[in-house]
Structure 1
Amino acid sequence: MYRKFGIALLAVFIGQAHAKVDPQQAERLGRDLTPLGAEQAGNAAGTIPAWTGSVKPPAGYQPGMHHLDPYKTDAELYRVDSSNIQEHAEQLPDGMIDLLERNPEYYLRVYPTRRSASAPQRIYDATRRNAVNAELMSNGNGISGASAGIPFPIPQDGMEAIWNHILHYKGDQNHFINSQAVVINGNSNLIKRDRQIFYVYGREGMTEADLDNTLLYYKYVVTAPAKLSGTALVVQDPMDQVLTTRRAWRYSPDNRRVRRLPSLAYDSVQPDTSGLATADVVDSYNGAPDRYDWTLVGKREMLVPYNSYAVHQQGIPYDEIIQPKALNPELLRYELHRVWVVDAQLRFGLRHPYESRRFYIDEDSWQILAVDLRDKDGELIGLQESHPINYYEVPMVSSTLETLYHLKTGDYFADGLDNNEPMYNFDVEMNPRDFSPQALRRSGN
């Protein structure tokens, strides 16, 4: 089903079956491992440097600005395109190889590797505690022993690794405006949304008892185009979504009514995406992991999106970013990084358009950077990519732009276009009451 490649397994994971690690293993965090569990050293070839722990904001940056590129002066090392795929095939997702082969004009610009991932000290401290306390519970659908930080910095199976992505720090709260693009037959349609997220897990001062099985609250209001303006959605996201299902309500300005959605999880289609995006592809993967069997394959050095500040810059017209077959490659940056490879196989008797998924998860931040998607016949049908930056005023790593390419049709979906909007506000005041059905009705008016 998958191409064969060399995977380096860390000996510490062989033969272990329990979640917690012993204190001696946990002592590696901050020594030969980074505070979040990555290998601190660079690689033998010198093409991946050692992790140093931070990225400094460029001169002239002030919070509230679009994030200036700290690596703007880096020179491009080389390009990968349809003419030299085989030279780099071992370092590319299968989906990227397919995209390059189908689009001879597309290419990857590869730059020096900058291990810029960082998080607040309290997240590092919480991660150290989690290493000896956190456990999977409810058949892996929930976490105990953690309220902030990476729960399993020294993961022993694929489910632990995917939980590390789901729970990696993305701030305490966030207010932002951006657009998503649906590209069908080369033609794009944009929808602008005003969004708010209130995170519970990872929040400063939060205890495990305070979580009350709540992960986050999310709300958006559509502001353009005019025919959809005022449409709004609110989501209350539990940690264990098998114990308590995700609750979502949608407000329609046509009839001025709030309607509870029967489902907004797993393979249900996201509203306003023309069927191109399921609910669980937001942030590359979200929601309960119970429909898949998860396998931690190992580590691999890969060419992945990273330090994507160029496509994040203020003032770039969206039609310069969104092109008929893919994002504009001139605005994208790829680097060689070590990633965790995690395979997800749909469990017997369950349905999803993605029978299997291969995730490439950044070792430094636990952000998913790429995903290969396959159907029930094992055929490659999709590629997801997350183009991340370090929001260095927080600090935290998250995607500034996400894509899902439908390889057979050539259509794609992109989310996160924020170049012509006010920058994210991580200090905005909000509380859970802002994410009720009643508040949703007020937001849509």
Structure 2
Amino acid sequence: MKNPLILGSGALALSLLASAAVAAISPQEADKLGSSLTPMGAQKEGNADGSIPAWTGGLKPGAATVQNGFLGDPYASEKPLFVITAANAEQYKEKLTPGQLALFKRYPDSYRIPVYPSHRSAAAPQAVYDSIKKGATQVQLINDGNGLSNFDTHYTPFPIPKSGVELVWNHETRYRGSNFLRYTAQVVPQVNGDFTPVGFKESVGFPQSMGDNDPSKSSNIMYYYKQEVIAPARLTGTVNLAYETIDQLKEPRQAWTYNAGQRRVRRAPEVAYDGPGSAADGMRTADNSDLYNGAPDRYDWKLIGKKEIYIPYNSYRMMSPKLKLADLVRPGHLNPDHARYELHRVWEVEGTLKPGARHVYAKRHMYFDEDTWALAEVDHYDSRGQLWRVAEGHQATDYQQGISLYAAQALYDLIAGRYLVMNLINEAKQGTQYDQKYTSNDFTPAALRNSGIR
């Protein structure tokens, strides 16, 4: 018989190994950042036929006219190189995702992908590049990849990723600028295209940008998020608050909701994983926001590699104040007349639900833009292995702030024939306002009541 003491010692060793920190990259490897690689970790050179250009620094402040906080389009004069439709999709299938191909089949007469010249417009402040390079040699995965240690550099801990979960962390921790305030709309059209927009006032604060920050209390806080519903009238006054944590196994996301009708604040543990999204008519989960957010612990993340695909990019037209929501929203999908796709390199990662874990999505197939680490496409599969929902993040570079943002986040339900779109700012009174003077007192459960009074 095998010695139980030896078996027990082996199990303990394996347990310790699983919780141990995974080593960061060497200084020699980090020196590639800004030399053979971009400061963010992407390949600097273009592709073989020149359809993806080399990265030469990205867009700079003043790249186009900015009016009332709305970014002008540096590429407004460009025309599509070609348009992919259901009729010719087979010709381009090697550079399309299964989700995009499924949308052509679901909406053969209306869904289109207009492909424009590729521009590697991504750029960030030099201080962010310096922080990423410093963190690359010190940040480590802990708790089986579900947390980070030594993450005092704040952004993109794995610019030279070695595993799928590192890509997930890069997306979640990408640079988003300073404290900001924005007004956005979420739309969930009916099958015939009719919709009633839900208006949000969103405040986001970062501990490193707060003058009263206490590192001893915020060391595990990535950011603070407050969402106030400001339209329609029947929903006005509902306020959600969340503290997004770095290690959500050590300290799960803290969330609260103020209900104007009940006039009370309550804990909201459902604002995570596959809990229902705010005012979304059941069309998205809590972790569908930002195309993916929250703790990565319920999935095994497999890094598949890099490939070239057509993704939404430089989507300035989609956030133009010259357009109304009705110009963008069409039955089944967003109006392709205002979309822009480009050929870019992406990292491909497959997330598979762990045995015994619970989530409505059994598998998530994810495509991360190499220049920004932001998710561009996500295919969601149900428990039967059927492709269910397709997410697209219509990216643009805020060349004034040096950040990548979503002009729109769309989530298409192939089975229901409906979709949801978030982050629309077209009818807002002004664009996103950065450098907000927030303090920790602006993000307390007690402050929710004041925000929700109507």
Q: Are 1:368 and 2:375 counterparts?
A: yes
Structure 2: distance between partners of 1:296 and 1:207: 36
User: 2:6 corresponds to which residue?
Assistant: none
1:265 aligned onto 2:269 = no
Root-mean-square deviation (CA, aligned residues, Å) is: 1.9
Q: Could you tell me which residue of structure 2 aligns to residue 109 of structure 1?
A: 114
Whether 1:423 aligns to 2:428 is no
1:9-408 to structure 2, matched below 5 A, reads 18-57=22-61, 61-62=65-66, 64-104=68-108, 105-147=110-152, 148-186=154-192, 187-200=194-207, 211-408=218-415
1:206 Cα offset (Å): 8.8
Measured at CA, do residues 206 and 77 of structure 1 come closer, stay the same or move farther in structure 2, by a change above 3 Å? farther
1:130 is displaced (CA, Å) by 1.5
SS in 2 for 1:283: coil
Shift of 1:139: 1.7
Deviations 1:180-228 (Å, cap 9, x if unpaired)?
A: 0112323322100111011237889999867421011111211111111
The AA in structure 2 aligned to 1:172 is S
User: Measured at CA, do residues 155 and 225 of structure 1 come closer, stay the same or move farther in structure 2, by a change above 3 Å?
Assistant: same
Alignment gaps of 5+ in structure 1: 1-16
Structure 1 residues 90-126: Cα deviation after superposition (integer angstroms, max 9, x where no partner): 1111111000111122101100000001111111001
How far apart in 2 are the matches of 1:199 and 1:411? 35
Distance 1:249 1:330 in 2: 39
How far apart in 2 are the matches of 1:290 and 1:21? 23
User: Which residue of 2 is the match for residue 442 of structure 1?
Assistant: 450
1:260: Cα distance to partner? 1.5
Any idea what SS the aligned residue of 1:117 has?
Answer: coil
TM-score for both structures, normalised by structure 2: 0.91
Q: What does residue 6 of structure 1 align with?
A: none
Aligned to 1:7: none
- 1:9 paired residue number: none
- Which amino acid counterpart does residue 384 of structure 2 have in structure 1? D
Match of 1:14 in 2: none
- Number of residue pairs aligned between Structure 1 and Structure 2: 429
- For the 8 Å contact 2:270–2:276, the answer to whether it is kept is no
- Looking at structure 2, the residues matched to 58 and 136 of structure 1 have their Cα atoms a distance apart, in angstroms, of 38
> Which amino acid in 2 is paired with 1:45?
D
Deviations 1:137-182 (A, max 9, x none): 1221211122222100100000111100000001121100011011
Q: Secondary structure at the match of 2:137?
A: helix
Q: Which residue in 2 is equivalent to 1:3?
A: none
TM-score, structure 1 length as denominator? 0.93
